[in-house]
Amino acid sequence: MGVEESHIEFAFSLAIFFLGMSAALGGRFVEKAVKLSSMLSCLCFASGLLLSVLAIRMQSPTGFMLSYGCLMGIGLGLGYLSPVKTLMLWFNRHKGLATGIAISGFGLSKVLFSPFIEWCNELYGVQVTLTSMACISIFFMLTAAILIRKPEGWVEKKDPFSFKEAFNIILNPTYIKIWIIFYLNITCGLAIISFEKNLALLVGISAVGLLSSATAVFNTLGRFGYSSVSDFMRRKEHIYLIIFASSALVSMASAFTEVPYIVIAVIMLCVINAGYGGGFSTLPTLLYSKFGMEKISTIHGFALSAWAWAGLSGNQLTNLIINVMGGSWQMVFWVLTALYTISLAITINLRKQATLEMNKKAQG
């Protein structure tokens, strides 16, 4: 389209922003009408991809931002949220496993489609690739929308929406801490994931597609593994202690040399991808343990607004340090180490707060 690559890349940040905000605002709608929200997700997602092809043909960056960024992002948000509570209702005892199944789809799709997208782009160009992905998505998303249902006997309460109740949740200190650690985890994850190809080439890895699929496997394993392990933990925040401690360590290890060694770089990419994915899948069960099951889609949706803002800050963080400030990858890793350490400190505080509350209840 004759514009700078960095300018058109903003469409992805915009898509993540609208993903988070549509999930934040659409949580109640998803709870009340999961089939309708699933179909609307398919409509927005697929039409966003198809209209982005039209925008490319018309040489319209603005049209691309509106279609790929805004419309597709809304489809992503509603589609992301729809299966989470539904699966949690089907799994009485293993809700972490349920969210792992639902959310691992985001990581698994990268494993499946990264090689296809590269192959299709190389042979047929981006327009054919986007059209193909739209057609594939229509088939599977419509199938899922037709099949999705809640367990027999589960009835959603038809209570009116309360702004006061919503604000009470948002302003709850525990909720604010969870929002912040979720935001920081995504910001750090996207800072690496969005520049994964650049980092791979820097350390001498030429098989970028293969590396992308490998890190996607860890992303998927993190989503499925961390959430499943959380089922056996009394304190769900313990998973975040593991995620932030391991991510801080690998970031620090990468920061000790100007260009990290290949082995260290690969380990760092895998660990951060796993923690990034695990942060998503463990979030619903952490919120459930603190606020209960009844309004989990609404509460989870509010929390996903952190993803919206992290989509803007995370994708731009590495670009700001390297391209704008003229810094190095070493500086990026030190910044990530600091952010992961802050997240770890907040999570430790969250754990102490939970311990105090349990002690008060026991004494009462």
| Mean pLDDT of the residues in the chain | 85
pLDDT of residue 299: 78
**C-alpha to C-alpha distance for 186 and 247, rounded to whole angstroms:** 12
Residue 307 in domain: yes
Residue 158 in domain: no
Residue 25 in domain: yes
pLDDT of residue 351: 80
**C-alpha to C-alpha distance for 218 and 107, rounded to whole angstroms:** 8
Phi then psi dihedrals of residue 116, to 5 deg: -65, -45
| Type of residue found at 73 | G
Mean pLDDT of 260-278: 91
User: pTM for the full model?
Assistant: 0.78
pLDDT of residue 163: 59
More confident residue, 288 or 144: 144
Residue 154 in domain: no
Report residue 132 as tokens: 């193909």
Residue 311 in domain: yes
pLDDT of residue 234: 76
Total domains in the chain come to 1
CB 299 within 8 A of CB 290: no
Q: HSE, CB side, 13 Å, CA atoms: give it for residue 313.
A: 14
Residue 65 in domain: yes
Report residue 257 as tokens: 């040399």
Residue 243 pLDDT exceeds 80: yes
CB 109 within 8 A of CB 226: no
Helix (H) or strand (E) segment spanning residue 284 = helix 262-291
Residue 278 in domain: yes
Mean pLDDT of 303-332: 85
Residue 102 maps to which CATH number?
Answer: 1.20.1250.20
Mean pLDDT of 151-158: 73
pLDDT of residue 127: 95
Residue 157 in domain: no
- In tens, the pLDDT along 41-79 reads 999 999 999 999 999 999 999 999 999 999 999 999 888
Domain that holds residue 46: 5-149+163-363
